[in-house]
């Protein structure tokens, strides 16, 4: 499967998805549809479709955004220095779609590796376990948290 940012994919985005992924926006805490979502499946980039996080690494951090301990495919998640807002953080972007996803912090659960990928719901599309094979994500079923 090939993952890329296309004009067609960008045209399908809601205004909020476009603001977050293309303009480096952040949704308000506790407003995203995936903050308290724990069904088995995977989360992919809303723009490119590249697999980003599996339900098996999702946890409730209480921060107001979906939190994941590890990417499903590390090569699909780029980490960049972000010195905006008067602080230094690590921004997380999708590697192929170049979508702004959120930030990564080192305060995650120690038993899951110690990282917390704090991700905007607006940058994600959820693929339920029972649809993964049909949508071409069968290789990631073990990451779906079933």
CATH number at residue 93: 2.170.150.20
Judge contact between 144 and 129, C-beta under 8 A.
yes
Structure confidence by residue, pLDDT tens digits, 68-96: 999 999 999 999 888 777 777 899 999 99
Mean pLDDT of 101-113: 95
Question: Which among 44, 72, 118, 132 is annotated as catalytic?
Answer: 118
Range of the domain at 87: 7-130
Q: What is the mean pLDDT of residues 28-36?
A: 96
Report the predicted TM-score, pTM, of the whole model to 2 decimal places: 0.94
The answer to whether residue 141 sits within a structural domain is no
Residue 144 lies in a domain: no
Count of domains in the chain?
1
Establish if 53 belongs to a structural domain.
Answer: yes
Does a structural domain hold residue 20? yes
Res. 146: pLDDT tops 70: no
Confidence of residue 1 (pLDDT cuts 50, 70, 90): confident
pLDDT for residue 113 is more than 70? yes
* Confidence tier at 26 by pLDDT (50, 70, 90): very high
Burial-class residue 145 by CB neighbours within 10 Å (0-12, 13-18, 19+). Answer: middle
- In angstroms, rounded to a whole number, what is the distance separating the alpha carbons of residues 45 and 93? 9
Active site residue 118: yes
Judged on CB neighbours under 10 Å (0-12, 13-18, 19+), 16 is: middle
- 109 within domain boundaries: yes
Average pLDDT over residues 57-67: 95
């Amino acid at each position: 499967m090939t993952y890329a940012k296309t004009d067609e994919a960008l045209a399908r985005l809601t205004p909020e998805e476009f603001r977050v992924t293309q303009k480096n926006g952040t949704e308000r805490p506790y407003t995203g549809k995936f903050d308290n979502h724990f069904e088995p499946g995977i989360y992919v980039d809303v723009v490119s479709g590249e697999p980003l996080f599996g339900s098996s690494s999702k946890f409730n951090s209480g921060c107001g955004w979906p939190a994941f301990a590890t990417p499903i495919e590390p090569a699909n998640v780029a980490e960049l220095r972000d010195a905006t807002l008067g602080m230094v953080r690590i921004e997380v972007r999708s590697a192929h779609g170049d979508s702004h996803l959120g930030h990564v912090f080192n305060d995650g659960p120690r038993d899951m590796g110690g990282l917390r990928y704090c991700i905007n719901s607006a940058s994600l599309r959820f693929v339920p376990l029972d649809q993964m094979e049909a949508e071409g994500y069968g290789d990631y079923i073990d990451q779906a948290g079933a």
